[in-house]
A and B are shown apart, each in its own frame.
Chain A
């Protein structure tokens, strides 16, 4: 090719390349011109419901109302909480409470009332003073009120509503709600007193192992040693402490809804409160049984504060001996040793 022809060829090539380059960028507009009404799909960048729910348990957004709870568009966990409350809790509560009643009935008819082996001596010894008894009964009466009104929320519509007019049941449930709210406070006070008064005497000691090994006084031929509180009572104490704290904290969350937490927190608080409460009721039923029907000479300890000496010797021998030492030390002018736990 001649020089002129070469330069012309190069210029052509450049022009061709430039034209192709522009064409590459022109393709979308060409396409648009070819189909001018082709819809642009805004959903290419949209958030959709399933994707959002996979990322987070709740879909939340911006709203114009000032209530922060209304920010939640969807919380499918509500249906799961419904299943927990209507199915799991009902079954758990029925099994725990009815099961415990059945066990206690079995215990009463098979083992029977545990009698004092030596019979009554007629001589009394002080077991609980007035303040201790007050604290216990404050907690106990509050607990019974809380238990009945609380169980009404869960089971009332199965047990009571069929035998009452709906208006009467609602009035009862409304009153029960207020009783439950207020009795919660007296329970908290009583629980605090009980913990403060008896935590020292409930600390686990070696004698508790021996008590358990000896069958805990249920086997007549064996002797189960114990301090002021035996291992069984200590278990009840620690369970009541833990469960009591759990229902107190969750109960305060429920008393002041959404004050400290969002809907997930409120659902969790209700679940903790309900599960612990039904187990607590079952354990306290056993505690009530052993303190009333189950054992002769036990109820007067909390009712009058005094117990029969033979009862003390049989069931809390180490505590009784410590009391004797203390009394003789006092009468002989020495400083009394502190009673063993």
Chain B
């Protein structure tokens, strides 16, 4: 079975934020929740690089390990999903996540958090709702993976810097790119998320 991964080619990303807009639109993400964001390092200086970051769907995800109610779990394809009905909004998954993927709506008393929301690889949610149903969409957003489609962010990337899909295939694509153009700043986040790097 294919193991789904994300790879943002930092040498191609132009900080256009099409991925951010695509995600927000496709999943009707509410105001204030940033499932995906583009971070620019060394802005304006030589060596500036932009990286698009959402949930990396890690191997042995730290968010799943620390969750006090065990509402986060990986699917067979390696996509890390969670069940919003079980989530208690404690915020531990954000402390554990190396990439800052979990987001919380602020709902009330003190800094109290609502149910955690994060990138789902456009694979719907980990709850009891039927796959592809309107109820699932209202809670988690689109379920494109069930229809055999890839996440909207990668589909909409204007430079095809954001790759999503079978980990082996996208590693191969990245390797070919680096060989052809002669340089590559590396697969950002892969060592932390998947405990592997792409030899280039």
A and B touch in the complex (CB under 8 A): yes
Give the interface of A toward B (CB within 8 A).
39, 41-43, 45-50, 52, 59-65, 67, 69-79, 81-82, 85-86, 152-154, 156-157, 161, 166-167, 169-170, 173-174, 177, 181, 255-259, 263, 266-267, 270
Q: Name the distance in Å between B98's Cβ and chain A's nearest Cβ.
A: 4
Q: Is the CB of A82 within 8 A of B62?
A: yes
Closest partner residue, chain B, to A255 (CB atom): B110
Q: Is the CB of B70 within 8 A of A39?
A: no
B11 proximal to A (CB < 8 A): yes
Q: A73-B51, A181-B109 are in contact. Are A61 and B183 (CB under 8 A)?
A: no
16 contacting pairs across A/B (C-beta < 8 A): A45-B46, A47-B41, A49-B185, A49-B186, A61-B39, A63-B37, A64-B20, A65-B20, A75-B98, A76-B192, A81-B66, A81-B96, A82-B62, A257-B113, A263-B95, A270-B92
B74 proximal to A (CB < 8 A): no
Residues of A within 8 A of B66 (CB): 81-82, 85-86
Most chain A beta-carbon neighbours within 10 Å: one of B41, B94, B182: B41
Q: A61-B41, A72-B100, A79-B98 are in contact. Are A153 and B189 (CB under 8 A)?
A: no
Other-chain contact of B39, A46, A73, A82, A157 (Cβ < 8 Å): A73
Task: Give per-residue flags for B28-61: 1 if the beta carbon is below 8 A from chain A beta carbons, else 0.
Answer: 0000101001111111001101010100000000
B87 proximal to A (CB < 8 A): yes
Q: Is the CB of A173 within 8 A of B88?
A: yes
Residues of B within 8 A of A50 (CB): 186
Q: Is the CB of A166 within 8 A of B41?
A: no
Q: Is the CB of A78 within 8 A of B98?
A: yes
Residues of A within 8 A of B17 (CB): 64
Q: Is the CB of B85 within 8 A of A167?
A: yes
CA distance A46 to B12 in the complex (A): 13
Give the interface of B toward A (CB within 8 A).
11, 17, 20, 32, 34, 37-43, 46-47, 49, 51, 53, 62, 65-71, 83, 85-92, 94-100, 109-113, 181-186, 188-189, 191-192
Q: Name the distance in Å between A326's Cβ and chain B's nearest Cβ.
A: 46
Q: Is the CB of B89 within 8 A of A177?
A: yes
CA distance A14 to B118 in the complex (A): 72
Q: A73-B41, A167-B85 are in contact. Are A154 and B68 (CB under 8 A)?
A: yes
Q: Is the CB of A62 within 8 A of B43?
A: yes
Other-chain contact of B110, A60, A76, A166, A181 (Cβ < 8 Å): A181
Q: Is the CB of A79 within 8 A of B192?
A: yes
Closest partner residue, chain B, to A86 (CB atom): B65
Q: Name the distance in Å between B106's Cβ and chain A's nearest Cβ.
A: 10
CA distance A276 to B17 in the complex (A): 44
Q: Is the CB of B188 within 8 A of A49?
A: yes
Residues of A within 8 A of B39 (CB): 59-63, 70-73
